[in-house]
Every structure is written in structure tokens, then in C-alpha cells.
Amino acid sequence: MNQEHDYHGHPNYVLTWAGLVALLVVSLAAASMGHKGLALLVIFGIAAIKAGMVVANFMHLRYEPRLMLGIVIFGLFVGLAFFLGVYPDIVPIPAVLAR
Amino acid sequence: MTSQTVPFDRVPAGRLAMWWVIASEVVIFGGLIAAYLLDRIRHPEWAALAQHTSTPLGALNTMVLLSSSLSAVLAHQAAQRHDLAKVTRYLSLTILGGATFLVVKAFEYSNEIHHGFTPVSGLFWSFYYLMTGLHATHVVIGMIALFIVLLGARKGLHLHRVEMAGLYWHFVDLVWIFLFPLLYVAK
Amino acid sequence: MIETVVHAPEELQKEPAHHEPEHHPASFWSRYVFSTDHKMIAMQYCVTSIVMVIVGGFLAYVFRWQLAHPGVPVPLFGKIDPNIYNTFVTMHGTIMIFWVAMPLLLAAFGNFLIPPMIGTRDMAFPTLNMLSYWTFFISTVLLLASFFVPGGAFGGGWTAYPPLSADAYARTDFWHGLGGDLWILAVALEFVAFLMGGINFLVTTISMRAPGLTWMRLPMVVWMIVIATLIFMFSVGPLIAGAVMLLLDRVAGTGFYNPATGGDPIMFQHFFWFFGHPEVYVILLPTLGFLAEIFTTFSRKPLFGYKMILTSTWVAAGLSFIVWAHHQFIAGIDPRMSTFFSITTILISVPFAVIIFSLMATLFQGQIELPTPMLFALGVVAEFLIGGVTGIYLGASAFDIYAHDTYFVVAHFHYTLIPVVIFGGAAAIYYWYPKFVGRMLDERLGKIHFWGTAVFFNMIFLPLFWTGMMGQHRRIFSYEAFPSLNTPLAHNLQVVATTGLILMALFQIPFLINLVRSARHGRPAGRNPWKANSLEWACESPPPHGNFPTQPEVYRWPYEYGMPDSAQDFRPQWEACP
């Protein structure tokens, strides 16, 4: 399309894919851990790492300007703001007392 | 981040637009996941209901989507090298991956409905069907986009679109990376 | 590299139209209906919003008549029952926000102004732009169609709170209650349309600016439209999810907002206001941008505090995501959160105060001229101030708990929205109509329009502050059922307000006549009738397809007015240094 089109490189996609599959196996194994809190931490930590790998390598965000990462992070921040703002109105209220 | 990058206003317009689409989709799924999480934390008893979702089939679908993402990005690489045979092969593989995903999903749905878990048999199941259904809608949209791109790309037309459809497809994969632990793995 | 080869033919095909628009044969359909030209799409949005403001205004007239003269048949309409009353109040709010304010301020002016102001031929994705309008058009048709289904249009308030909006009682069978489903679909489609348009605005502004047009040389109105688009894009997502959940509650019988299944109706209130409050800034920011352009042009002074205005706008945009629950102080939210949201709400008035003061400082010691666009722009500041200041009262939860859902609130938000949408929209139309159409609007009719609107707008809403403080609640069909609130004074104030509405509506007629007549008989405008600096004034009026004959270059920011030692008192952006 234009001259700058090719500014991003091609990381090793197959290796990235292999890493993603390995992490999937780890997270399935973690699900059967005895300690529930720790298991959740591992499972969602791995999900975040997997997402980071897809975004950085498959979607080439590591080659894009920082601001592009900022856009996505701001989207996540907005979701978090919603979660935190609504939290006190949903979670501590027993369902039987719901409005 | 590597140093070999360009200023924000030199990113190609199509790619920039695709990232804005993704950003607005992040917020849609972000709101939905936030709502689910709030209700899930409020109802610890949903852990028992989550036992009824099939983790093996979910894991299989995760594999399928991850692999189709790989072929999507390989198609993009082939497109930049103008290797039309490879572009066609990898794009077809990606679409096939999407179709496999939908078949497995349909199998899961019918199995769950067979056991009496329909969209109206409780809030957990409403969320389950809404979130996976919305995701499946995105899979279908992505497949249509990939198919349209494929029609041109195999003749060497609009090759830059391979990357755009691919970006969208990776986003669909990304959503599933979070939906899988949220609905299947976490008990 | 490969791409260059592939795309070269397409680029070449566009060239002829660029230089000689006459040689580009276009049928009526491709020119006026399925046009991809940003100016025609802007015109389509503008005309649609003017049609919708007439519909929304008529609804207001019907229910205001009922409030002033309960039980008396409405002239031009007939008898009104509580159901019709609820429906009309709901649809009035929905139409005025989503089908008037947003399409006019954001879509019409965004489409019209961005490409010429940044010195480009069209939007980055013209076809997407056309698709955006036609999605919006379908949503408009769905919304208007909902008036004619069995059971009538949606009547659950423009905020559509469940359980009322989700409840099965309104739905006796599939057809009866369809109005609510159509309402949700129409609103959701409209969001999709504006997302498509918004992505276009962002990409166009980011990557297609003329050479020399750095970010800090961008006209303020383009900044404001871009930031408004960002706010819209990031706040609307949760509501789209929430609207799907509401639709499923209505049609499929799920219980996302039903306590009986473990859901919670307050979740929807959060979804709604998480979008709904940022939305008011989406509407406000374009008008602040119009003011920046109009004030500098007609006071012949540089914009005061460009960077300060910009910084304040970014701060306000960030804060706008954490103020939403001030709409829910009496909805049973956590009182500690009420404190938090009170503080953020009062905080967000600071950046807006900075912007308004900067605009007023722009006027200070300027050579002020008062043509109609300037009158309307000054009107925005004067009237919006009343709305803004009462907003600070209402932002404090202690006062809001008393005033919530009274006419005080109604008066407050009409004092913000009418200056921003009606005055701001009118200011922008009077200012850019010569560019849009190529002819000047009539000044005499314009002045009649302004004074009639300004005087009678206050006649509607000042009395409503008063009745609100007396305790009159905003969602009552007839106060005859509440004798203690229906004092003679309160009733007379309601009559005054309704009379004001009818008079204000009558004073819009000169405006409509002006719009139509000046298109034929107005004085030809020439390229730059207001002696303004920004790039759109370098085009012909109206700009031809492709806007500029050659790629313009930009040498400075757009606010160099009142230059003492030059032949003319302004230096346009496109003129190289002498």
C-alpha cells in the first residue's frame, strides 16, 4: 500500500504457537491443583501471558508505535473502571436482597 | 518493543482502522466480562454449574483457534512474499479452523441442552450462552471476512487485506483465550 | 512494495474526478443518495437530524400541553392518555440525544469539517462512511416504525431501566411490546453507525493531515471532534453488551436483570450511565470546538490558551469515565461510592471551567463583531453556564437526593443540552452554511431566530427550576392526582413553560425559511466570507468533489488574527510567509 508497509518483521510464528500450546497444557494442569486461589492465579496469569504473546507476535504489536498499545490498554482500563465502580453494588449484596 | 517502529501517524490507514475496531470490541467484551465476573463472584455456587461445561472440548477448541491463528499469520507472511499458493492454502486452513470450532461448539451446545442446560435455566447458563454465542458470532463474521479476502487473494488482488482479516481473527482468538478459563477451567 | 503495484490502477482512476468534477458522470442516486462524498454524507446527517428535531419537538409540545392543560385535547394531535404520555416523553429524550444531537454535532459537522480542515480530499474510507449513514438511516426508520406497532413505541423512559423495560407485563404477545425491542435495536444500530463513522474520523485525522499540519496546528474543533469520538468509542462498549442482555431478557426470557434468577437491575443502570454520562461530553465537545473557531474569527484575536484548552479537554475526557454513578445516587448504590462520584463530578467541572474561561479570555479586548453565528456562540456560553453551575449542585449527592427526578433536574439538563445542541448547532450552521452551500444566510431572519430562541428558551426552563424546587416530580402525567403539589403557582409556572415552548418553536420557522430560501437567493459567499484562517476557507464554496485542486500546505496554526503590521489583519494557514 505504501513504502512503510513492511516496517514490521516476522517473529518465529511456529515457535510462538508451540509456546501457546504449552501454556494451554500448563493451565489445564493447574486447574487440578489443590489450592484454589493459587490455581485461579495461575490460570488467569497464563491467559494474560498467552494474550500478550498473540498480541505481540501474531498481531505484531511489538513493531507498532507505543500509542497503539496504549489504545488497547485504555480499553482494558475502561473495563476495569466499570468493574470497580459496580463492584460494591453487586458483589456484597446478597442475591435475595437484590433490588 | 523494538526500536524499528514508525510514528503513530505513519501507520498504514487500514491497519490503524483495524486496531480501532479491535479497541472498540475490547470495550464491548470488557463490559460483558466485567458483568459476568461481578455476578460470578456474587454467586460462588456457580462453580458447581461450571463443572457441567466440557473442559476437554473447550481445550480442543482452544487448540483449534490457536492453530487457525497461526495459519492466519502465516498467510499474511506469504502474502507479503506474494506467494499466492501459500496464501490460498493458509487462508483456507484458517477458515477450516473456524468451521471446526463452530462444529465442536454446536456439539457442546446440543450436549448441554440435552442435559437440560438451556439459556433460560439460570443466570450462569444465560451468561455462558451469551458470551460464547457472541464470540461465535465473531467467528462467523471473521470467517466471512477471510473468505472474501481469499477470493481476491488467490488471484493476487488486495493482498494487504490478508493482514486486516488476520488481525480480526487474532482478536477473536484473543477473546477465546479469556473466555475459556472464565467459563470452563475456573471451577 | 507489491501492494504499490496492485493499487496503482485504483489510485489513477480517482484522479480525473479530482480535477474536473464535470467529467465524472453521476446519476441522481450515486450523487445524492448513495454518495461516498463526505460533504453529501454530512448533508444527509444534517437533514435527517433537522427532520428528527421537528419530530422530537412535536412530541415535547404534546406532553408539555398535557402538563399545562391536563385533560384538554392537544391541538393538532387530540386526546392523550398516560401511555401515550410515557411513550412521548421516552421518545423525545431518545430522539433528541441520539437522533439530533449526535448526528448533527458529531456526524454532520465531523464529516463536513474534518477533510477540508486537515487539507485532504475525503475521508480515509469513503465507502465505510456511506455505510455509516445508511446504517443510521435504517436505525431511524426502525425507531419511527416503533410508533406504529401494536402497543405503541417504547414508554419505559429514555434510560430504559429494568425491571420496567425488561418486564414481561408490557409484552402480552410477540407483537404487543415490539416497540421496546425496536427501540433497543434502533439504538444499537445507531451505535454501530457512529462507531463506523468514528473510526473514519480518527484514522482520517491521524494519518491524512496536509503537509505542515502538525498536531499543535490543528484547529480546535477537529481536536474536539476527535476527542469526543474517542470518548464515545470507549464508553459505548459496555452498553452494547448491556443492551443485548436487555433484549434477551425481553425476547428470550433470560434473567440478567431479574433478582429472581440472581441478576440485578442496578447492573443496567450502571451500563447505561457508564455510557450515558460520557455521552454528554461527546455532545458538548464539538460545540466547544465551534466556539473556539467562531470566537476567534469574530473577535479577530488568537485563541487564548490553545494548549491549556487541549490539556483540560484530555483531563475531562479521562475523568468522564469515572463520574457516571452521579445519576444513581438514589438508586441504592453504595454510599461510599456516592462520595467518590460526588468528588469526581465536582472535579470534572474544573477543566470545563478552564475551557470556558479561555474562550471568554479570547474575547477580551477583541474587535468584536456580532453576526448571527457569534450571537448564538455567545448564547451558548451564557446559557450553558446556568446548566453547568446547577450541575455542580446536582453533582453533590446531598442536594441530589432532594432534587432527584424533579423538574429541577429537567431544567438543569435542558440548560446544558439546548445551548449545546440548538444554540451550538445553529451557530455552526450559520457559520459554515456559506461554505456548505455557497451562499450567505439572511442576517435579519437570523437575528429574529436568535432573539426569539434565546428569550423563549429561558421562558420554558427558568420556571421549571422553580417547580422542581417546590417538589414537582418529572414523571407525572397529571398533577390533578396530587393536589398538594398542584398549587396555583406551580400550575401557572407549568403554563408559562408550555407557552414558552410554543413560542420558541414558532421562532424556528424563520430559521427553516432562511435555510431553504438562502440556498437560492442568498448573497454569494465567495471563498472566505468571514476572513477566517483555517483550511476549509481555502476551498471554493461549496467545495467541489475532492475539495482542493492541489494538495494544500500548512504554514502556521489557524488563529493568527489581529496582526498589527500586515496588510490584512489575518494570516491564513495556507499562505506562505510574505
Query: What pLDDT, in 10s, does the model give residues A40-98?
Result: 999 999 999 999 999 999 999 999 998 999 999 999 999 999 999 999 999 998 876 66
Q: Which residues of C225-237 are buried (b: 16+ CB within 10 A; e: fewer)?
A: bbbbbbbbbbbbb
- Closest-CA residue in chain B for A29? B185
User: Distance between CA atoms of C36 and C29, rounded to whole angstroms?
Assistant: 11
Q: Does A99 touch chain C (CB under 8 A)?
A: yes
- Closest-CA residue in chain B for C268? B35
Split at pLDDT 50, 70, 90, the class of C22 is: very low
Give per-residue pLDDT as tens, B114-165. 999 999 889 999 999 999 999 999 999 999 999 999 999 999 899 999 999 9
Largest CA distance in chain B: 55
User: Distance between CA atoms of B118 and B133, rounded to whole angstroms?
Assistant: 13
Residue C489: partners with Cβ closer than 8 Å, 6 or more residues away = C470
Please report the residues numbered 56 through 75 in chain A whose beta carbons come closer than 8 angstroms to any beta carbon of chain C.
Answer: 74-75
pLDDT of residue C23: 47
Chains A & C: contacts with CB separation below 8 Å = 62
For residue C447, the distance in angstroms to the closest alpha carbon of chain A comes to 44
For residue C396, the distance in angstroms to the closest alpha carbon of chain B comes to 27
Question: Which residues in chain C have Cβ-Cβ distances shorter than 8 Å to B39?
Answer: 262-264, 267
Give me the helices (H) in B43-122, please.
46-50, 55-80, 84-114
User: B5 and A64 in contact by Cβ < 8 A?
Assistant: yes
User: C262 and A95 in contact by Cβ < 8 A?
Assistant: yes
User: Distance between CA atoms of C247 and C386, rounded to whole angstroms?
Assistant: 38
Q: Which of C199, C209, C263 sits opposite B123 (nearest CB)?
A: C263
pLDDT of residue A35: 84
Question: Which residues in chain A have Cβ-Cβ distances shorter than 8 Å to C321?
Answer: 78, 81
3-state secondary structure of C153: coil
Q: Which of A4, A64, A68, A89 to mutate to test the interface with C (most CBs of C within 10 A)?
A: A89
Give per-residue pLDDT as tens, C80-123. 999 899 999 999 999 999 999 999 999 999 999 999 999 999 99
Split at pLDDT 50, 70, 90, the class of C10 is: very low
Q: Which of B177, B178, B179, B184 to mutate to test the interface with A (most CBs of A within 10 A)?
A: B177
Task: Dihedral sign for Cα B11, B17, B21, B27, please.
Answer: positive
User: Distance between CA atoms of C380 and C420, rounded to whole angstroms?
Assistant: 6
CA-nearest of C227, C255, C376, C238 to C315 is C227
Give the least confident one: B130-134, C4-8, C335-339, C348-352.
C4-8
pLDDT of residue C173: 66
Q: Judge contact between C108 and C170, C-beta under 8 A.
A: no
* Cα–Cα distances in angstroms (integers) from residue B98 to residues B85, B137, B153, C217, in the given order: 20, 11, 19, 47
What is this model's ipTM? Answer: 0.94
Mean pLDDT of C551-570: 87
Q: Is the pLDDT of residue C220 over 80?
A: yes
Mean pLDDT value across chain C: 91
Give the least confident one: C58-62, C156-160, C324-328, C502-506.
C156-160
Task: Dihedral sign for Cα C226, C51, C431, C357, please.
Answer: negative
pLDDT of residue A6: 66
Q: Is the pLDDT of residue C510 over 60?
A: yes
C15 compared with C374, residue with greater pLDDT: C374
Number of other CB atoms surrounding residue C567 within 10 Å: 6
pLDDT of residue C433: 96
- Closest-CA residue in chain C for B10? C207
3-state secondary structure of B171: helix
User: Distance between CA atoms of C144 and C123, rounded to whole angstroms?
Assistant: 30
Give per-residue pLDDT as tens, C334-344. 999 999 999 99
pLDDT of residue B169: 97
In the chain, the amino acid numbered C407 is Y
Please report the residues numbered 247 through 266 in chain C whose beta carbons come closer than 8 angstroms to any beta carbon of chain A.
Answer: 259, 262-266
For residue A29, the distance in angstroms to the closest alpha carbon of chain C comes to 31
Q: Is the peptide bond before C542 cis (omega within 30 degrees of 0)?
A: yes
pLDDT of residue C260: 86
Q: Which of C125, C215, C274 to mutate to test the interface with A (most CBs of A within 10 A)?
A: C274
pLDDT of residue A8: 82
3-state secondary structure of C524: strand
